[in-house]
Chain A
């Protein structure tokens, strides 16, 4: 039976959400196409995490459980995925479109002598060919693409676009991949936490972003309050990152991160195309802006024309009331 192989990403042996989304999508596609889902997980001490992937639809998980795979390396992980692909002979390999997945998928594809479809937001199956839809030109257009008959089909899925869904599967069968001994020349020496425990915009389900309209760096406090009550992350426009009001890892848009949360609240952001490129695939977009002609209102599902300093505090209060 044909297989979809899914690369699964862990950090400190916790499976990242985008990987569960990729497995879930693989399961949905496999069900439609009469295929099976296998996963590949490099790490150290990952057997339990691997077994747990069964709940999302992975039948078998190929682990490379070894201290040298505890942290990411493009060369090491490429060797692991290539070995799993050699055993599984998948028709497609899915990657979560995270920093790691987007870095790894092309290297794996080149090792296997094929191309790759990146940052996919919609997938359909025609026979055994995946037809993918992906945003191009800063989301000013969408391309429908395929791999021109090449197999396996290497595909990275944009995080938070495909739903993670538990199936009724039990524990996955866990198999150790033997004989993977890559030469690793680029070695991750350290993974430093820069978020201070804050949720990263690329992984958040709710994002509240501030732009020039917040007037000064100290007013990110107001943005943060709204983000906190919504259980979300703090985002920012390019203008305020360039002004040094907040660090680049918060930036949403073309030279920042591309995000697809369930709820995106843009506060004091006019909506330059560079910003829209990073957030227009959000499910619900809310804009708060003084300028009724701000372009952000053209793509907003809900908007308030008004002073954010007077609109945000009562919003925080209202949401707190709801939660009480």
Chain B
């Protein structure tokens, strides 16, 4: 039972976002990069599956040199090996190009299950997994919060509005993982030390035959901060809560027309 986990490194969600000089990307000064939180569910699930059933976990990322830290984090938590495809600056947010790169790197390898996060926090597309599944011609189940893997097949639960779909699928397959699936582990010191000796296979983008800058499917014209929000109407309700409630309802009815 071999698993591939696709990870991406993203700015820590507590980061202050500033627009970079070109007006199309963020200013990376001072940004702390982390493994995208949803990818942690994917990694944890892969680790649990291989611990129970044998096999290996390969973490893969497409990113610049600094993205190796994300792979080392995965290795420290228990992944057996990692693949680092170098590049990604020109295709930030370009789900289709990223999926093509991953598909090219994975198509000749052997795996039973590919696990991705439900979305990369930051670009927030949530599309690479489904696109990758399509390019590899395997089924996918998205937004998975429950998983049971059998012999050559799996059952997964996915959240939809007001309900849950129970899906059965043959393997190989791809899953995108959602909060609720498991509780991701932290890396222990021993794992961090061991990770330094584990192999990271560096792959040049040119060897995959993909020109990320020349054949884009997503063009960022402009990145901007949200327009400043006008100060709202704040009612002091400590002394007369009922009066404040009346005033609020009145404003919502007459001014905001929201009731």
Contact = CB atoms under 8 A, between A and B. Distances in A.
- A and B: partners? yes
Interface string B168-179: 111001000001
Interface stretch (A60-68, A184-192, A208-216): A184-192
A109 B94 CA distance: 12
Given A116-B96, A190-B165, A311-B241, A131 B124 contact: no
B252 A186 contact: no
B220 A144 contact: yes
A31 interface: no
B121 A254 contact: yes
Interface string B147-161: 000000001001111
A147 B15 CA distance: 28
B139 A115 contact: no
A288 to B, nearest CB: 8
Contacts of B93: 136, 143, 145
B242 interface: yes
Contact of B237 (A78, A107, A277, A304): A304
Contacts of A100: 160
Interface residues of B, number: 86
Contact of B124 (A135, A150, A292, A304): A135
Contact of B131 (A107, A254, A262, A306): A107
B219 A145 contact: yes
User: Which bucket holds chain A's interface residue count?
Assistant: 35 or more
Contacts of B133: 74, 107
A274 B164 CA distance: 24
Looking at chain A's contact residues, the main secondary structure is: mixed
B223 A136 contact: yes
B167 A189 contact: yes
Contacts of B135: 110
Contacts of A203: 161-162
Contacts of A303: 232-235
A122 interface: no
A98 B229 contact: no
Contacts of B38: 255
Contacts of A256: 179
Interface of B: 11, 13-15, 17, 19, 26, 37-38, 93-97, 99, 121-131, 133-135, 138-143, 145, 155, 158-170, 173, 179-180, 216-226, 229, 232-238, 241-242, 244-246, 248-253, 256, 258-259
8 nearest CB pairs, A to B: A115-B217, A306-B237, A115-B96, A310-B241, A106-B127, A186-B139, A110-B134, A195-B162
Interface of A: 16, 71-72, 74-75, 78, 98-100, 102-107, 109-111, 114-119, 131, 134-148, 150, 184-195, 198-200, 202-203, 206, 230, 248-249, 254-256, 262-263, 273-274, 277, 280, 283-286, 292, 297-307, 310-315, 317-319, 322
29 contacts: A74-B130, A106-B131, A107-B140, A109-B96, A109-B127, A109-B131, A119-B124, A137-B17, A141-B19, A141-B225, A142-B224, A143-B220, A144-B223, A145-B93, A186-B169, A193-B163, A195-B163, A200-B161, A249-B159, A249-B162, A263-B258, A284-B256, A284-B258, A285-B232, A298-B229, A310-B237, A310-B242, A311-B237, A315-B248
